[in-house]
Amino acid sequence: MLAFGCADRGPTNLYSKPLFNQSQAGAQMSFDGNDSYLVAGTPTVLSLAIKNTGNGSTVGPITGSVSLTSTSCAVLGTVTASFGKSGQVINPGDVVYGTPMTVDFSACSGAEAFFALTMKDSRGSTWVDGFSTNGQ
Partner 1 sequence: MAKTSWSRLSGLGLLALGLALCQPAWADMQAKLNVVGSALARSGQSISSLAVAGFTDAGSGDAALAKALEDGLRKALRRPGKFKVLSASADPSKAGALLTGTYSEQDGGLAVHVLLQDASGAKLPFTRDLVLTSDDLQAAGLSLPEGSVTVTEQEPLLVKPAMVDPYYNSQTIPTLAPSAPRGPGRPFHVDVSAGYKAFFPTNPSFSPWVGGRADGASVGLSFNDWVLVDADYWHANINGLGSVDGLDYFGTALAITYPLRLGPLTLYLGPGGRFADVQVHDTAINNDGDQASFGNNAFTAVAGAKLRYQKVGLDLRYAYDLVSSYTGYHTVRLGGFFEFGR
User: Which stretches of the chain bind partner 1, using CB under 8 A?
Assistant: 1-12, 14-16, 18-22, 59-60, 85-89, 122-123
Instruction: Transcribe 43-57 into DSSP letters.
Output: SEEEE-EEEE-SSS-
Q: Find out whether 70 and 111 touch, Cβ atoms under 8 Å.
A: yes
CB-nearer residue toward partner 1: 2 or 74: 2
Which residues are within 8 A (CB) of 11 and not within 5 positions of it... i.e. 6 or more apart? 56, 57, 58, 59, 89, 91
CB-nearer residue toward partner 1: 3 or 74: 3
CB-nearer residue toward partner 1: 38 or 89: 89
Q: CB of 105: closest distance to partner 1 in angstroms?
A: 36
CB-nearer residue toward partner 1: 5 or 34: 5
Q: CB of 12: closest distance to partner 1 in angstroms?
A: 5
Q: CB of 83: closest distance to partner 1 in angstroms?
A: 14
What is d(CA 131, CA 121) in angstroms, rounded to the nearest whole number? 20
Q: CB of 47: closest distance to partner 1 in angstroms?
A: 22
H or E segment and range at residue 38: strand 37-39
Q: Find out whether 113 and 105 touch, Cβ atoms under 8 Å.
A: yes
